[in-house]
A and B are shown apart, each in its own frame.
Chain A
Amino acid sequence: MKNSIYFVAVLMLSSLIGKAQQTPAPAQSEPIVIEGATAHLGNGEVIENALIIFEGGKISFVGPATTKIDRKGKQIKGKGKHVYPGIIAPSTSLGLLEIDAVRATDDQDELGEMIPHIRSLIAYNAESKVVETMRPNGVLLGQIAPKGGRISGTSSIVQFDAWNWEDAAVKEDDGIHLRWPNTFRQGRVWMGEERGYQPNDKYQENVSEVDLFMKNAKAYGDGKGEDVNPAFAAMQGCFEGSQKLYIYADGEKEIIDGITLAKKAGVKKVVLVGGYHAYKVTDFLKKNKVPVLVQFTHNLPVYEDDDYDLPYKLPKLLVDAGLLVGLQNGEASNFQTRNLAFYAGQLVGQGMDKEKALQLLTENNAKILGIDDNYGTLAEGKSATLFVSEGDALDMRTNRLTHAFIDGREISLQTHQTELWKKYSGKYEGASN
């Protein structure tokens, strides 16, 4: 019975909000005040009994509720609740793939090996049913990255409440994604090889191909070529520093090789993505000032002799080593991206401070993606992209959103899934009455 009471409460709440479901919210029309909540700033700090005010899409005040300041506008009672900056999902193909098994819905993997000119943004489906399920869990922004080839293409950063890709865009063409070759490769069972991994004899060859491509791209930029080479042209941002190069690598050698080659080639900003063995080369990463978008925690160990909880604690090992660390789940199914908060929560059981764990998803992800001027923390002057949860958002039991805002716009927390929930709950309620 308790369940249905809770259900009715949510129903009422949503009808009070009176928003048409899944319709992108209009611009913020009046100041909004959240008072009395615990504000998790996203930078490791927390303010109990906080006051948060935002207007025109920007946060105008964050501080203790004891502060004497004008509280005009819409009031949200925050007592007992928690406020967080919107969670940012790096390296995801949300909006590029709707249903894994249905090829027609798959736009994440283009043909070709060196295809940096392939741009994710224009294929991003702002109306994806999967994307809208991010919002009720507090995931409000994402970096949409293609997944094909060696150099997969160019990503863009979007917010998750938009009419189309154009107004979804937060940062267009922010980076290039390079999937570094592996020194070991999986056995080709169909060719009679053993399952499992064996040395990849083509590794050095693969590396040379990247090297050659980078050198050519650089030369192309330095020169005044007459013919346009779209792939070379697409790399120029990496050399100029306006775009970041995201290198996907897990092994020690691969990490060192990838970063060394990129730096040598003249790439200004490099980010390591994945980094299963990054904890073994932290000195190298520190020396090269390379941040890590480490893989999510809900993974199995890759090697039989690894600690059973290595994936659980991997981000913590990197943070403890003094690296700038963000968290992504690019290798998981897109729908799992809504669990980002829990991937961070897992770290708390490994001894990490809750606010630090949250920081991986907020300030750190924002910094690494280069959108920290506007997103990632609750700070005056920044975008009012945030959410209110009834309880601790890092734990599934208490991650229950009552409000979410993107750039001050109060977005719908309804989805295809909540609709079905209501519809069929209604069926049984009707039957029992």
Chain B
Amino acid sequence: MMKIRLTLLAFLGCTVLSYAQEYFPKNDGVKAENDNYTALSNAKIYVTPTEIINGGTLLFRKGKVVAVGKTVNLPENTVVIDASGKTIYPSFIDIFSGFGVALPEKVDSDGRSAEFDSAREGFYWNEHIMPENDAVTKFKYDDTIAKTLRDEGFGVVNSHIEDGIARGTGVLVALNGAGNDGDRIIDDRSAQYFSFKKSIANKQSYPTSLMGAMALLRQMYYDADWYAKDKIDTKDRSLEALNKNKNLIQIFDAEDKGNVVRADGIGDAFEIQYAILGGGDEYERVADIKATNAKLILPLNFPDAYDVSNPYAAGYVNLSDMRHWNQAPANPKILAENGISFSFTLHNLKSPADFRKKILEAIAYGLPKTKALEALTTVPSEILGKLAEIGTLRKGSYANFLITSGDIFEKETILYENWVQGAKNVINDRTLKDVRGEYNLSVSDQTFKLSIKGTLGSPKVEVKQDTAKLKSKFSYTDGWMALSFATKDGDENYRMTGLVDMDSTDLTGKAVLPDGSENVFKAVKTSEFSEEDEKNKDQKEKDDSDTPEMVTVKYPNVGYGYSAIPEPQDILFKNATVWTSEDAGILENTDVLVKDGKISKIGTDLRGGNAEVIDATGKHLTAGIIDEHSHIAALAINEAGQNSSAEVKMTDVIDPEDVGIYYALAGGVTSLQLLHGSANPIGGQSALMKLKWGESAENMLYDNAPKFIKFALGENVKQSNWESHSRFPQTRMGVEQTFTNYFQRAKEYEVKKKSGEPYRHDEEMETLVEILNGERFISCHSYVQSEINMMMKVAEKFGFRINTFTHILEGYKVADKMVEHGVGGGTFSDWWAYKFEVNDAIPYNAAIMHDQGVTVAINSDDAEMMRRLNQEAGKTVKYGGMTELEAWKMVTINPAKLLHLDERTGSIKEGKDADLVLWSDHPLSIYAKAEKTIIDGATYFDLEKDAQQRESIKKERNRLINMMLKEKADGETTQKPKQTKKEMMHCESGVEIAVGQ
């Protein structure tokens, strides 16, 4: 026993051993190698999170585990370290790190001309695609930062250049301060990284949007495939690298629950399963996240409470943000419960030093400790395919391990050491003994009461003389204790220090008295420190913090979200005034039966069996309003980086949490076309949606929806109203040529495709070919008659027709030509004067077009007007004298026809979808209120339920505000109040970004 101790002490004196390469020359001394073994014995060893050895021994040599077990045969040349009472864990791994890899320098935009072409040569055409970047080439080890990571328990990180959409490969690095890069770099091509975020170092404007980034990634994969087939004559180092990195682990930086699903969707299309960096909000959509089957990398950046002490300022904070503060720490627990595999990352944490607090918070919220440990060891290792090397303490693994005083996920536990590749790093001195307790301290002729409390790592003292508390300071490091305290009158000090005797409970040493004379002190222990006492004292507080109170997650998780997603219900409306939007016209005193989500019967004295009966006497029942032109519920509107963006899809960027959906429902809207904006002549592909508030983005989309695309003409595509002079076209003349050029190319593309010859798959051309073949319909943003006429002629030349002109404010001038072409019009009721090209916009437009036989819809392009489209239809009665029947069709069956949805919705007809609105009054009047809005038989808006929601929002806000006030009172850090606000989207949203970037 004695012998071991001596060895141990001797070992402690040594510096860390490094392992020289055998083939390296040595000129500063004799060449010698340390072939000794090291063993840690008598410890509780977590070989893996589930394989635990009590009283075990860990044997390692040259940085790798040789053996681990209850009994391990120790070779004679073994340095044995007693670790009894200690616990040993594999060191942690962070696979989403920027450690040692500097970000490129940000290029400042000059704010004027957008760059459309790439400034690079010999690489992919888009500068944000940089798979040729290898983090290892930029890697520079920084031990100061490494130490901050080791201090939290991390032994290995996977770094990459956190910049761009395709980011190249990562480098897997052990945080080994003793070795060199030869030791540290475990894998220099550890994984390939992607994101939706553009490079800060490049100015090329495409993509300006999320959907553009998604389309770019898809095209990139197609192009890589084409390149792999040796079909591209020129050298493309980006695609070459991408192909080379194909078999690596693929990691995607998504940083948001929706983006997790988006990234996974791209992967699915190319048979790639990314491991995905989440945003910490995955708990809000667990089912969708689970369906990805992706392994996640989770941040621990749970938000701080908002400082809501000023009630005015508190008013700015949305309930959804307050909730996220309350719920986010439950994210890991909820994902674990749902069987979703994840690792943790320090990414986005303000400081690595916050790590421990956050992980304990997650555990307090119910995350099982085993899962927490897995998320820091085996899961990240498994994601990287490195389970044999890191993340466990099995034989052959790197000797990366932690020595702790106990359960690492307990607050009091001290992390003593973090060994990386067999090299020791001391975080807290493990050799210190527990000096806590009550003492009688005597110095010279004076006696004091000394009480040492607090944690092992940072003990606190209290010194009393009689009953007077003296101002004191205490430290215990490197085996020595130091204590100083003031005299009673506070003017002078006693100072004392001594080496703590491991074999005695008393403390002794040298003292300096207030008069400067030297003496000795002796502190005799009278009682042991009791953790229980401490605990009891804090019991109440602990109860509160150990079982955090969590508010319910709603669908969607915003103020007006529902506790449960509305379900279809059989409903019988009795005695309503029914606006059929069909030839049947307006039926007084009529019953309508909704069954299985469909309009089952229309008539009088209907019986509905178990259907809920609603007395609609004096009320009006109509089909749900359809907005042919909307930009709500979207995360982006324009991909403005090129003059054609036919490859981008609005279905990629649906935001099912936009409260605008709820507002629209409250205005009787049930369906919409989510259109791309008007930044470019050829815009992006539309999304046709039903406003099923609470459902996922995917569940809001129409099944087998007709395909649409946005085109645009005039000032926006010419970029007339902002400083941009570098993108073609700048005139209406150029707009025509843009279209003919693209369609000609599409024609040629199709010929090639049909020829059976190999061809390069082009997402943009594929979309345009669909248009040529009448498989995709155009909604074309248009204002003045010349361009409207031109567009029809271009379409006719290529043998298709324009489906809808939207805005079409001068449609009244060419209504005859429109009828001849067979195009419909979706227009504003009375907008004008906002730009030069609407000078001749008149509110009589809808009526004139209608009278000439054009199918006319009134649409919004505006989140506010959208919720009053019934009134906007009413304006056509004033302007141009439409009949009320025809006016009403302009927001129901007419837009349904324009969207090719009229077989399913848009009118009250037996067999159609039960998309209905019950109005308090004549639906075209300014006095009408939507009382119920129903989609597929499920009630998504109900005036009575809305009233309850208001009450519950008030209560929940109050509850969370009180919780946050308590948090502040408890001394926790808080953040300034803020109001999260989504951008109000319309046609031109994001147009100017093309300029700014």
Contacts and interface: CB of A to CB of B under 8 A. Distances in A.
A163 interface: no
B941 to A, nearest CB: 9
Interface string B138-177: 0000000000000000000000000000000000000000
A6 B946 contact: no
Given A305-B318, A345-B927, 7 more contacts: A2-B881, A199-B977, A335-B830, A349-B920, A394-B926, A397-B874, A417-B843
Given A3-B881, A101-B715, A199 B313 contact: yes
A307 B929 CA distance: 14
B320 interface: yes
Contacts of A400: 878
B882 to A, nearest CB: 7
Given A305-B953, A396-B926, A425 B978 contact: no
Contacts of B983: 195
A141 interface: no
A400 B867 CA distance: 24
B976 interface: yes
A420 to B, nearest CB: 5
Interface in A108-144: 129-130
B715 to A, nearest CB: 7
Contact of B833 (A100, A183, A252, A342): A100
A308 interface: yes
A347 B842 CA distance: 27
B844 interface: yes
A92 interface: no
Contacts of A428: 815-816, 848, 851-852
A414 interface: no
A304 B666 contact: no
Interface of A: 2-4, 6-7, 98-102, 129-130, 183-184, 190, 194-199, 251-253, 298-301, 303-305, 307-309, 333-335, 338-339, 342, 345-346, 348-349, 394-400, 417-418, 420-421, 424-425, 428, 431
Nearest to A103: B721
B663 A308 contact: yes
B556 to A, nearest CB: 11
**Among B715, B721, B842: residue with most chain A CB under 10 A:** B842
B559 interface: yes
A4 B316 CA distance: 52
B848 A421 contact: yes
A331 to B, nearest CB: 11
Given A349-B929, A395-B925, A425-B848, A99 B880 contact: no
Nearest to B835: A101
A28 to B, nearest CB: 28
Given A299-B864, A304-B318, A190 B871 contact: no
Contact of A100 (B835, B865, B877): B835
B883 A2 contact: yes
Nearest to B866: A300
Main secondary structure of the interface of B (DSSP, over half): loop
Given A194-B978, A307-B950, A349 B921 contact: yes
Contacts of A395: 874, 925-927
Contact of B312 (A253, A301, A345, A349): A253
Contacts of A345: 926-927
A425 B881 CA distance: 13
A304 B715 CA distance: 33
A414 to B, nearest CB: 12
A89 to B, nearest CB: 15
B884 interface: yes
Contacts, number: 172
A184 B864 contact: no
B558 interface: yes
A99 B836 contact: yes
Given A305-B318, A308-B663, A194 B833 contact: no
B981 A335 contact: no
B835 A349 contact: no
Contacts of A334: 833
> Which of A397, A398, A421 has its CB near the most chain B CB atoms (within 10 A)?
A397
A183 B842 CA distance: 41
A303 B319 CA distance: 10
Contacts of A307: 950
A3 B882 contact: yes
B880 A3 contact: yes
A251 B312 contact: yes
B553 interface: no
27 contacts: A3-B881, A99-B833, A99-B839, A100-B833, A101-B836, A102-B835, A129-B839, A183-B312, A195-B982, A196-B980, A199-B313, A199-B976, A199-B977, A251-B312, A300-B863, A305-B319, A308-B560, A333-B834, A338-B830, A339-B830, A395-B874, A395-B926, A395-B927, A396-B926, A397-B925, A418-B844, A420-B844
Contacts of B769: none
Query: Which of A130, A253, A299, A420 has its CB near the most chain B CB atoms (within 10 A)?
Result: A420
B410 interface: no
* Most A CB within 10 A of own CB, among B312, B715, B721: B312
Nearest to B878: A396
A308 B851 contact: no
B495 interface: no
B874 to A, nearest CB: 4
A303 B848 contact: no
B834 A308 contact: no
B978 A196 contact: yes
B956 to A, nearest CB: 9
Contacts of B946: 308
B657 to A, nearest CB: 10
Contacts of B878: 396-400
A370 B833 CA distance: 30
Interface residues of B, number: 75
B924 A397 contact: yes
B863 A342 contact: no
A99 B977 CA distance: 38
Contact of A333 (B320, B833, B847, B925): B833
Contact of A397 (B558, B812, B831, B884): B884
Given A397-B874, A424-B813, A7 B881 contact: yes
Contact of A304 (B319, B720, B868, B884): B319
A298 B830 CA distance: 14
Nearest to A254: B312
B17 to A, nearest CB: 46
A308 B720 CA distance: 36
Contacts of A342: 871, 926
Nearest to A253: B312
A-B pairs, top 4 by smallest CB distance, nearest first, are A345-B926, A101-B835, A6-B881, A197-B979
B986 interface: no
A335 B659 contact: no
Contacts of A299: 864
Contacts of A198: 976-979
A139 to B, nearest CB: 13
B315 interface: yes
B631 to A, nearest CB: 13
B312 A303 contact: no
B662 interface: yes
A60 B721 CA distance: 52
Nearest to B315: A303
A4 B851 contact: yes
Interface string B310-339: 001101101110000000000000000000
B770 to A, nearest CB: 34
A396 B313 contact: no
B833 A396 contact: no
A420 B812 CA distance: 9
B719 to A, nearest CB: 12
Contact of B864 (A100, A183, A298, A431): A298
B20 interface: no
A421 B926 contact: no
A23 B143 CA distance: 83
Nearest to B947: A307
A425 B878 CA distance: 16
